Amino acid sequence: MQRIISGATVVDAVSGQPIEGRSIWIEGERIRAIAKPDELPALPTADIIDARGKYVIPGLMNANVHLLCDFRLETLVRYLERYDELIAEAAQVALKNGLTTVFDTWGPRRFLMAVRDRINRAHLEPGGDNLFDLAGGHFAWLRAMEQKGCPPMEMLRAATRNIAVAYGKGRDLGTIEPGKIADLLILDRNPLHSAENYRSIRAVIKAGVPIDRDSLPTDPILTKPGDPPSEEEASYVSFLTDGSQFPGCPMCMRE
């Protein structure tokens, strides 16, 4: 399958400045070429995405997430046989909100690997410390970095290229270059003008394929509207009455 993202401003996380009026030729899951629209060969069977007036950036990444994100005892017991479904739901929430690659650094390895393998076999569209974080925590981080005075291009690189390099994935991910996997976001507004503009997602492209964001998560569990609590649930009192918590990821524990 060939696909052309046509006429965009490309913010590739390599160059120092955005590159206006460029088209990205995607072949299969990888970027074949980046050029001016009239410099690409005629591709009559290619799917064309008109991105004039839009901004294309590498897919965002998160180096420390927890896809099995609700470690309350009652949740672990209720979904004892469904941890892989909870992980898949969280991954899809992340993907819907522009995180095309996440690294889970503390979670049940067997279930995480099972979901990863389903994603790799294309049996599942892939997707924090909770589902809110996966939906918006990266936007909050970008906003905080902006407030701290981080230069806009370095902020983008910190959320894409630097993570890919740190995890040994820089050969395939993190920037927009020929030969790289086409994990891309198309934005309505320039992310270098404001961190808030990262929220203006027009499209998410994962491994060269546009994602139907409205369909995610495909099988909601924690994100679906909840039923009214039963009498037993409503009367629940945590046995951890001293403010202590179950052991968790040391990077995410808060005082």
pLDDT (tens digit per residue) in 28-52: 999 999 999 999 998 989 999 999 9
Residue 51 is predicted with a pLDDT of 97
Q: Is the pLDDT of residue 124 over 70?
A: no
Residue 72 is predicted with a pLDDT of 78
Higher local confidence (pLDDT), 93 or 124: 93
Residue 161 is predicted with a pLDDT of 98
Determine how β-strand 30-35 pairs with β-strand 47-50: unpaired
Residue 152 inside a domain? The answer is yes
Q: How far apart are CA 95 and CA 6, in angstroms?
A: 23
Q: Is the pLDDT of residue 153 over 80?
A: yes
Residue 165 is predicted with a pLDDT of 97
Residue 147 inside a domain? The answer is yes
Q: How far apart are CA 239 and CA 150, in angstroms?
A: 43
Higher local confidence (pLDDT), 72 or 213: 213
H helices of the chain, in order, are: 73-78, 83-96, 109-120, 131-147, 152-158, 161-166, 231-234
Total domains in the chain come to 1
Residue 96 is predicted with a pLDDT of 94
Residue 118 inside a domain? The answer is yes
Q: What is the mean pLDDT of residues 73-90?
A: 87
CA-based R_g, the chain, Å: 20
Q: Is the pLDDT of residue 127 over 50?
A: no
pTM of the shown model: 0.84
Residue 128 inside a domain? The answer is yes
Q: pLDDT band at residue 79, thresholds of 50, 70 and 90?
A: confident
Q: Residue 152 corresponds to which tokens in the numbers above?
A: 């806009």
Q: What is the mean pLDDT of residues 197-201?
A: 97
Non-local (6+) Cβ contacts of 95 within 8 A are: 125, 126, 127, 204, 206, 211, 216
Q: pLDDT band at residue 250, thresholds of 50, 70 and 90?
A: low
Determine how β-strand 2-10 pairs with β-strand 55-58: parallel
Residue 69 inside a domain? The answer is yes
Residue 228 inside a domain? The answer is no
Domain that holds residue 69: 60-170
Percentage of the chain modeled with pLDDT above 90: 58
Q: Is the pLDDT of residue 128 over 50?
A: no
Residue 217 inside a domain? The answer is no
Residue 97 inside a domain? The answer is yes
